[in-house]
Amino acid sequence: MPKETALVGETMRTPNRVAWLVGFVAWICLASSVQAQRADRGLVTGIVTDPTGSAVAGATVKVRNDSTGVETVLTTNEAGAYTTPPLILGTYSITVDHAGFKAALRSGVQVMGAETIRQDVTLAVGAVSETVEVKGEAETLNTTTADVSHTVDENYYKALPVIMGADVRLAESVLQMQPGYLPMKPNGDPMFRGSQFNSRINGGQTRATENFFDGAAFGYASGHQQSQESAPSVEAVQEVKVITTSYLAQYGHTSGGFIEYTSKSGTNTLHGSAYEYFGNDALNAAGFFGKAGKTPYRNNDFGFTVGGPVVIPKVYDGHNKTHFFVNIDWTRFRSGVLPGFGNTTPTDAFKAGNFSSLLTGNQAKMTLCDGRVVNAVDALGNPIMEGAIYNPLVTATVPTTDCKGNPVNV
């Protein structure tokens, strides 16, 4: 029986391994087709002509990602036109060749999210072995899409400090640079610093913006469609694009603007990073009520990134084909009562009208009728602090007696 049990166990485990392997291979094979349906891509289109301006049909167009080495091969149609499938964001080189013409190379073409980049190419007469290279330049006017948008790439995250929303580094803080963006009015609550909560774009309604991450909607500024996801990880963002007006049909049901985040992609080179951002009350200023002590504060935001080609030794080499990028981010936040007026929870003493704990002086002294000197209190028994300021307009009185027993109102 023990042998049979062991044999059965081996037999049951083998299909599981095969299933995992088949599933993984299927994921690799389908990855490109699934990604092609996402909206966080860009297109390259154009027309290939000869020196007279006539269309060149049948020209071979190769669009190559400079970072990943992935090459898309196309052929121009009868009108000399070509259009790529959706491409991941990055820098591309375009090579065009046809018999009887010199090969044309256009490098440095920047593909941005939800953009259609127009790259027309004119072939010069000559041998195919000769190459004419043209450095790509950014378009000064986008003539292929009608939307009005503004794009911020990862260089801004590298060069500018990220606003902290109390305990979280917010990728959405770059919206502060967006023309027409109006953040919420500060209310003393540090949780909203840098957040798009209650913001508006171009005079639209508050909380009317919709957010996309790699082409998938993850909700509105308020609650993010119950996902409670405030923003993608800063370290994983390659680009943020804000579309304000003249939306394409793929959007359409939000009046306040669209914010599209695009994640980074792996390249042919294995690369990674590790980081730690921390906050500690030992580094904080004392504040207005400094002598009363600082608010305890411990904040650690740490994680790592890693990306590169998918390589399974002796099974699969993903160079120039399949790549991955992973970012895992942790936040550990420990704090006492936040000092902002919008976050102070009243204690029992506060509710009773005793705010003496907020004062830094000593309790005043008073002399009783019998000559004893004691800590000063008012008619209600509340302590009187040195330097305390009382409202002179108060007219309410409390009946009591003086040292001779005569009734008085104080």
Q: Is residue 90 part of a domain?
A: yes
Q: 325 and 398 share a domain? A: no
When pLDDT is cut at 50, 70 and 90, the band that residue 14 belongs to is: very low
Q: 51 and 26 share a domain? A: no
Q: 30 and 47 share a domain? A: no
Mean pLDDT, the chain, rounded, equals: 76
Last residue of a domain, one of 305, 335, 365: 335
DSSP symbols for 141-161: S--S---EEEEEEHHHHHHSP
Report the pLDDT averaged over residues 217-233. 57
Q: 154 and 126 share a domain? A: no
Q: 80 and 116 share a domain? A: yes
Q: Is residue 250 part of a domain?
A: yes
Q: 170 and 318 share a domain? A: yes
Calpha distance 248→14 (Å, rounded): 50
Report the pLDDT averaged over residues 121-127. 88
Q: Is residue 161 part of a domain?
A: yes
Q: Is residue 171 part of a domain?
A: yes
Q: Is residue 348 part of a domain?
A: no
- Is the model's pLDDT at 220 over the cut of 60? no
The total number of structural domains that make up the chain: 4
Q: 289 and 255 share a domain? A: yes
Boundaries of domain holding 232: 148-335
Q: Is residue 142 part of a domain?
A: no
246, two tokens:
């003249």
When pLDDT is cut at 50, 70 and 90, the band that residue 184 belongs to is: confident
In this structure, what CATH number is given to the domain that contains residue 255? 2.170.130.10
Q: 10 and 51 share a domain? A: no
Tens of pLDDT along 48-103? 999 999 999 999 999 999 999 999 999 999 999 999 999 988 899 999 999 989 99
The pLDDT of residue 137: 56
Q: Is residue 401 part of a domain?
A: yes
Whole-angstrom Cα Rg for the chain: 33
Q: 28 and 59 share a domain? A: no
pTM of structure? 0.62
Beta carbons of 204 and 257 less than 8 angstroms apart: yes
Q: 259 and 321 share a domain? A: yes
| Burial class of 381 by CB neighbour count within 10 A (0 to 12, 13 to 18, 19+) | exposed
